[in-house]
Amino acid sequence: GQGSRTGLPPALTAPPAPCLVPQNSLSKPGSCSSSRDAPVGNAGGIPSLSQEQRLWIKAFLSQTPPGNGAGSPGAVPGEPWWIPGLGAGMLEQPHNPIPKKTGDPNPRRKMWKTRLNSLRLPPDLLDLAQMVLRTEGPQRLPRGYEIVLSISVNNADKVGVFHVQNPFFGQRYVQVLGRRKLFHAVPYPGGAAELHFFVEGLRFPDETFSGLVSIHVSLLEPLGIPHSPIFRDTVVFRVAPWIMTPNTLPPLNLFVCSMKDNYLFTKEIQSLVAKAGCKLKLCFGYINRGDRWMQDEIELGYTHAPHKSFPVVLDSPRERGMEQLPVKELLGPDFGYVHKEPLVEAVASLDSFGNVEVSPPVSVAGKEYPLGRILIGSSFPASAGRRMTRLVRDFLFAQRVQAPVELYSDWLAVGNVNEFVTFVPASDKKRFRMLLASPAACYRLFREKQKEGQGEATMFKGKGTRPPRRGSNPAGSAGIRALLRPRQRCIDWNRDILKKELGLLEEDIIDLPALFKLDKQGKAVPYFPNTVTMMVLARDLGIPKPFGPVAGGECCLERRIRALLEPLGLRCRFLEDVASYHGSLGEVRCGTSVQRRPFAFKWWHFTP
């Protein structure tokens, strides 16, 4: 866990008001709404204290981000919690999973390794949120009284709390609350004192967990069994969300699988990666086990708190061979891991992370989305088609900071949103453009070339596996024209949704030529390599080479795409992927995954 603070109501951002519990005439009761007027020692069955022995005890919890000397109280249950500003929060910690048994055929189906009950290295605490228990009172509590920290049984698997001890050999950070400990009796320090605790999150928000965790401190008096609380103070933390990064953020690392048939492809992107200033990370055969679809397997995001952030890989529920990659190659002290695997629902191609996209920051009808909005593909609202597994879908919605938008992608054979929409950076005020695949734009281009006398131009000429075709201009085919209309209507449906949900105008959208044909199941597949499914590395674009009609020594599709994108300050590099990806119904983007720099914007300043 780590400390970030999401918003608190203004009343809660004021200097902390300690909760008073009667025990000393030096203080006055009623100075805090949580105070009790009955003096300690006056309970039934316990000998009364004389007036001179009555003391007041102050005790309250607060959250202090590392490096910040002043604490501030956590949110009170029932009060508005998520308001822009600072509030109590923590990071989910990347624990290392271990297999149930050696040679487990599914290395992700694991039990999480239990963290040791003590931490010896202070650097471990840099990842944790600080929580302070402040007390003020007599040197000793009356016999039988105790101060107790506690969490509910519902939060036991979501939070861990550590406390420092000082044995003879170095400091020990002992776990006092967590999966197996719901309460902890705090040794009363006497007088005015501060006790520091360190809080970690154990789960990201999901379909059954809002992300809010309450930690309580209670003063108990020995009325009977169990002891009775005189008062209770509470601090509320929120586990920091998992955040996706859009194409407009600078790239750090590009991940791609090394396969026998994509050697030339990986060589070609090395120069592109170097030009973009990021690093190329190859996943070799012993890890990928024949699975080339990197983007479908993992989505690289991050989590963030005021004192620290680190990347977190979201591992898809698909089981195609690459499931060892996140655990063996990525997970580490500063690299988190999340895997969602449905127990009942069947996993389909819409659960691949090519079906998860995120927009750049947008403003919609006065509502700001400074971290963008997640796009996920689904079936038509009135049909019973393929949908993303509810477990994954609900996880994305539960993060709350990138409100998802559902699009219609079931008309495609693979069914992923990145087959018809993506985003590229721009150097103007808008800062980005949305690219849409457009059969209509392709048809207009081919008709234009046909009227120029180039209707017999050669397509698929080059190093691809298809033989060159003459006279294959689709504009001359009545069958292809008939196929354009329903595919274009599907894209136009999504266009209207995107304009409404992202607050876009027509000038914010660029239509890239694309054609689709139908497979045996009546689903759409690309007629030629789909240029929308591109790789975006800052200003450098790795675009699938479309092998369109060649006229004047140049592919007319490449010429049109350059004319549309290069005025934005972008550099187009066309990569041949027919043999390595397109022939298996994928493209450049499907075979790569990009880790990007986190947003500068702090998520806790956003109101869902």
Say whether 590 is catalytic. Answer: yes
Compute how many other C-beta atoms are within 10 angstroms of the C-beta atom of residue 272.
Answer: 19
In this prediction, residues 578-593 reach a mean pLDDT of 90
Q: Say yes or no: 489 and 539 in one domain.
A: yes
Asked whether 143 and 220 are in contact (CB, 8 A), the reply is: no
SS3 524: strand
Beta strands 172-177; 159-165: pairing state: antiparallel
* Band (512; pLDDT cuts 50, 70, 90): very high
Predicted pLDDT at 375: 98
Q: Please give the Cα distance from 29 to 40 (Å, whole number).
A: 12
Residue 54 structure tokens:
């009555």
* Band (113; pLDDT cuts 50, 70, 90): very low
Final residue of a structural domain among 239, 265, 288: 239
Predicted pLDDT at 105: 40
Q: Give me the CATH number covering residue 43.
A: 2.60.40.1700
Residue type, 564: L
Beta strands 146-150; 97-98: pairing state: unpaired
SS3 395: helix
Q: Give the chain's largest Cα–Cα span.
A: 108
Residue 111 within a domain: yes
Give tens-digit pLDDT for 11-54: 323 333 333 222 222 223 333 333 333 344 443 333 343 333 34
Asked whether 519 and 233 are in contact (CB, 8 A), the reply is: no
Q: Say yes or no: 210 and 298 in one domain.
A: no
Q: Say yes or no: 187 and 282 in one domain.
A: no
* Band (491; pLDDT cuts 50, 70, 90): very high
Q: Say yes or no: 111 and 57 in one domain.
A: yes
Asked whether 321 and 288 are in contact (CB, 8 A), the reply is: yes
Q: Say yes or no: 398 and 511 in one domain.
A: yes
Predicted pLDDT at 85: 55
Q: What's the total number of domains in the chain?
A: 2
Q: Say yes or no: 233 and 259 in one domain.
A: no
Residue 62 within a domain: yes
| 592 compared with 60, residue with greater pLDDT | 592
Give tens-digit pLDDT for 272-321: 999 999 999 998 888 888 889 998 888 999 999 887 888 999 988 887 77
Residue 246 within a domain: no
Give tens-digit pLDDT for 129-166: 889 999 888 888 888 889 999 999 999 999 999 988 76
Share of the chain above pLDDT 70, in %: 73
Dihedral sign for Cα 7, 11, 12, 14, please. Answer: positive
Final residue of a structural domain among 208, 239, 270: 239
Exposed, middle or buried by CB within 10 Å (0-12, 13-18, 19+), for 286? exposed
Q: Say yes or no: 80 and 44 in one domain.
A: yes
Asked whether 36 and 22 are in contact (CB, 8 A), the reply is: yes
Residue 455 within a domain: yes
* Band (97; pLDDT cuts 50, 70, 90): very low
Nearest alpha carbon to residue 564 among 473, 434, 446 = 434
Q: Say yes or no: 166 and 202 in one domain.
A: yes
In this prediction, residues 102-110 reach a mean pLDDT of 39
Which of 257, 278, 283, 590 is an active site residue? 590
Final residue of a structural domain among 204, 239, 274: 239
* Band (418; pLDDT cuts 50, 70, 90): very high
Residue 202 structure tokens:
């154990």
Residue 57 within a domain: yes
Q: Say yes or no: 144 and 285 in one domain.
A: no
Q: Say yes or no: 193 and 283 in one domain.
A: no
Asked whether 80 and 212 are in contact (CB, 8 A), the reply is: no
SS3 297: helix
DSSP per residue over 541-580, as a string?
EEEE-----EETTEEHHHHHHHHHHGGGT-EEEEE--TTT
Domain holding 261, by residue range, is 251-605
Q: Say yes or no: 97 and 160 in one domain.
A: yes
| 202 compared with 12, residue with greater pLDDT | 202
Q: What is the pTM of this model?
A: 0.81
Burial of 202-223, coded b for 16+ CB within 10 Å and e otherwise, reads: bbbbbeebebbbbbbbbbbbbe
Residue 357 pairs in a beta bridge with 375
Which residue has tokens 């003063």? Answer: 219
Residue 315 within a domain: yes
| 253 compared with 72, residue with greater pLDDT | 253
C-alpha distances in Å from residue 225, one per residue of 153, 186, 220: 20, 19, 11
Does the N-terminal peptide bond of residue 226 adopt cis geometry, omega within 30 degrees of 0? yes
Q: Where do runs of H (alpha helix) occur along 434-505?
A: 439-449, 478-502
Q: Say yes or no: 233 and 357 in one domain.
A: no
pLDDT at 329 over 80: no
Residue 2 within a domain: no
Asked whether 7 and 604 are in contact (CB, 8 A), the reply is: yes
Predicted pLDDT at 473: 53
Which residue has tokens 């590395």? Answer: 537
Predicted pLDDT at 45: 38
Q: Give me the CATH number covering residue 493.
A: 3.75.10.10
Residue 411 within a domain: yes
* Band (593; pLDDT cuts 50, 70, 90): very high
